[in-house]
Amino acid sequence: MLRIGVLASGRGSNLQSIINNIQEGKIKASIKIVISDKKNAQALDRADNYDIKSVFVNPAKYSSRMNFEKELLEMLNNQGVELILLAGFMRILSPFFIKKYRGKIMNIHPSLLPSFPGLHPQRQALDYGVKVSGCTVHFVDEGMDTGPIILQAAVPVKRGDTEETLAARILEKEHIIYPEAVRLYAERLLEVKGRTVKILEEEV
Ligand code: GRF
């Protein structure tokens, strides 16, 4: 069974959606460790609720980003992690880290990439005046939200939306497409060629 490691910094609702899908037998995988760079991340409590190993790694304790990342890598390796999921992890991973797990790190971002990468994508979408936004699951490369796109879902922007109302509407879709992307990966139904991710199931 696919061994997953999750990196999270906060609420952990995407982590929860993946746990739920595993529990329901929809994803053939198991989460071996949840690591947070924030002591009070709700994501750690969610892991505890399911007896999933949860660890707070304090970045302030490390002399450099590389040393912090080496610690993360050691923890992930010790658990035999094969796929890393970023779920609201508020740090950029360095090329050093990414090289070690190339093609094996996924992220979810609350916009239709390549529009509105980086911080506050929902606010960026509202400020720009788009009528449709959404969310994207992608493999992580060295850039900021630039890796090959696995799945996307569109969400309408409604009159009177605030950052919060739009974020909430997008989040509902996040909780559908992130588990689905993990399922496809676990079933080896994703094939990456350059920027393009082919979903093998669609051919059936
Ligand atoms: C989500 O909106 C995700 O797309 C973004 O950060 C947020 C994390 O939420 N990367 P949660 O911690 O999964 O609830």
Q: How confident is the model at residue 4 (pLDDT cuts 50, 70, 90)?
A: very high
Tell me the two tokens of residue 88.
């609201």
**117 C-beta closer than 6 A to ligand 1:** no
Report which ligand 1 atom has the smallest distance to the Cα of 167: 2
- Ligand 1 atom nearest the C-alpha of 109 is 4
pLDDT at residue 103, rounded to an integer: 97
Cβ of residue 12 lying under 6 Å from some atom of ligand 1 = yes
pTM: 0.97
| Any ligand 1 atom below 6 A from CB of 109 | yes
Query: Bridge partners of 135?
Result: 153
Do residues 131 and 124 lie in contact, with contact meaning Cβ atoms separated by under 8 Å? no
pLDDT of residue 202: 66
Q: Are strands 132-139 and 149-156 parallel, antiparallel or unpaired?
A: antiparallel
Q: Is 88 in the pocket of ligand 1 (CB under 6 A)?
A: yes
Helix and strand element counts for the chain (H, E): 6, 9
For residue 180, give the H/E element and its range. helix 163-186
- The per-residue b/e assignment along 16-35, b for 16 or more CB within 10 angstroms, e otherwise, is bbbbebbeeeebebebbbbb
Cα(41) to centroid of ligand 1, in Å?
12
pLDDT grade for 201, boundaries at 50, 70 and 90: confident
Which amino acid does the sequence have at 3?
Answer: R
The predicted pLDDT at position 203 comes to 60
CA separation for the pair 78, 76 (Å, rounded):
5
CA 17 to ligand 1: nearest atom: 13
Type and span of the H or E element at 105: strand 105-109
Q: What is the pLDDT of residues 11-63, one digit of tens each?
A: 999 999 999 999 999 999 999 999 999 999 999 999 999 999 999 999 999 99
Our mutation pick for probing the ligand 1 site, out of 6, 11, 14, counting the most ligand atoms within 8 A of Cβ, is 14
Residue 110: is its pLDDT beyond 80? yes
Q: Is the dihedral of CA 177, 183, 189, 192 positive or negative?
A: positive
The answer to which of 115-119, 168-172, 199-203 has the lowest mean pLDDT is 199-203
In this predicted model, what pLDDT tens digit does every residue of 73-95 receive, in sequence order? 999 999 999 999 999 999 999 99
CA 47 and chain centroid, separation: 15
Compute the mean pLDDT over every residue in the chain, rounded to the nearest whole number: 97
CA dist 102 → 79, 84, 93 (Å): 18, 10, 12
| pLDDT for residue 44 | 98
